[in-house]
Amino acid sequence: MITSHDFLSIVLDERPLIDVRAPIEFQKGAFKHAINLPIMNDEERHVVGIKYKEDGNAAATDLGYSLVSGEIKASRTKAWLQFIEENPTAMLYCFRGGSRSRISQEWIHDAGKDILRLEGGYKAFRHYLLSELMPRAQEAKPIILGGCTGSGKTLILKDLKNAIDLESIAHHRGSSFGHHIDEQPTQIDFENNLAYALIQHKSKGYKHVILEDEGKNVGKRFLPTDLVAHYKTGDYVIVEVPLEERVQITLQEYVIESQAHHIQRFGEDAGLKLWYDYILASMQRLEKRFGGDRLKIVSELFIEAYRNQLSSGTFTCHEPWIAMFLRDYYDPMYNFQMSKVQHHIVFKGNRDDVHSYLEALD
C-alpha cells in the first residue's frame, strides 16, 4: 500500500483527492480538488467513535467492518473506482492517514485498482499548507494596490499574472455590499485555498506579489495576523480614478452584474426582490457609521432608483445613490485609514498607467 508525502506536487499539479472522512468532517474544511466519498457516514462514524471510547480500537474496528460490509461496502468501493477511472492521478486521505484511508486503499486494491495514500492524511497536509502562510515562506516582495472604492482595483488584479486576488479566494467583494449569492468558503477552506495560490505563485518565480489593500478580514474570513503584517511592509501603488468613472464601475458590478446573477439563480421577479432586500439591508447595517440622516436620504434614493428601473428598464437611475455612498461614506473612511499609517507609495496613476507599472515589475 503505497503512500506519499509529496505535498508540493499535489498543489502544483492540482491533483484530485478522495477524502474518505465523514461528511461532517469534510464540511468543516477540506482541500481544493477534493471530493468527499466517505468510508463511513456521519452516523456510522459516531457509533464507532463511541465504541472506541468504551472498548478500544480493536472493538471499534470490528464494528466498523460490520457496519460497512456487503452492499454498503460494494457501493462505496464502486464510487472510489469510478472517480479513479475518471481521475487516474487521484490520491486518497483520511484524517491522520490511518485506518480509514488504509482500509479504503486495500478495498480499492482488492477491486483491481491502486491509488496513492496521503501520508499523515488531512492533518499533515493541512500543517504543510499553514506553514506556507507564514511570512518566512514568502519569497516575493508584496506590492499593495490601493485606491478609493470603485476604482477597479480587482479588474486590474485579474489581468495580472503575478497577482493574488484575495477577494476571489474569499468569495467576497470586500465591501459592506460584497456578499455573493453563494456563501463564503469556511475559514479552513479559505486558508487552504490561499496557501495553494501562494505556493503556485512562488513556483513561477515572480519577484513581486500584487495584492489589493485589504484589512485582516475579507467578509467573514480573515488572513493570518503575521501574514497581514508582512504584506503591510510592502510598497503601495495607488490607482486614481474620477468619481464619475468609479460610479460606473460600481454600477456595473454591484447592480447590473449582481442583479443578473440573482435573476439567473432565482428567476427575474424573485431574483430582483432578493437583490433589492440585500442592498437595503446592507445599507441599514451602516446606520451607526453613516449617520441616520444621510442613511435616510441614500435609502430613499435607492428605493426610487429601483422603482424607476422596474418601470424604465434602465440602470442609470442608480447613479445618484451610488455616488453618495462613494463620496460620503467610502471616501472619508479610505482617507482616514490611509492617514493612520505612513505608507511607502512608489507610484500613482490612472488604471492604465497603474496596470502598465505593475505588469512591468515581473
Q: Which of 147, 77, 91 is nearest to 121 (CA)?
A: 91
Alpha-carbon gap, residue 272 to 259, rounded angstroms:
6
Active-site choice (20, 34, 48, 94): 94
Q: Are strands 91-93 and 221-222 parallel, antiparallel or unpaired?
A: unpaired
What's 21's DSSP letter? S
From residue 146, give the alpha-carbon distance in Å to each of 156, 215, 233, 235, 241: 11, 12, 14, 10, 11
Give the contacts of 179 (CB within 8 A, at least 6 positions apart): 172, 173, 219, 278, 282
Alpha-carbon gap, residue 309 to 29, rounded angstroms:
41
Helix axes 121-131, 187-203, angle to 10 degrees: 60
Helix axes 57-67, 99-110, angle to 10 degrees: 40
Location of C-alpha cell 457501493 = 75
Spatial contact of 100 and 48, defined as CB atoms under 8 Å apart: no
Known catalytic residue at 94: yes
Alpha-carbon gap, residue 93 to 21, rounded angstroms:
8
∠ Cα 137 140 142 (to 5°): 105
Alpha-carbon gap, residue 297 to 321, rounded angstroms:
9
Spatial contact of 184 and 171, defined as CB atoms under 8 Å apart: yes
What's 163's DSSP letter? B
What's 355's DSSP letter? H
- Give catalytic residue positions: 94
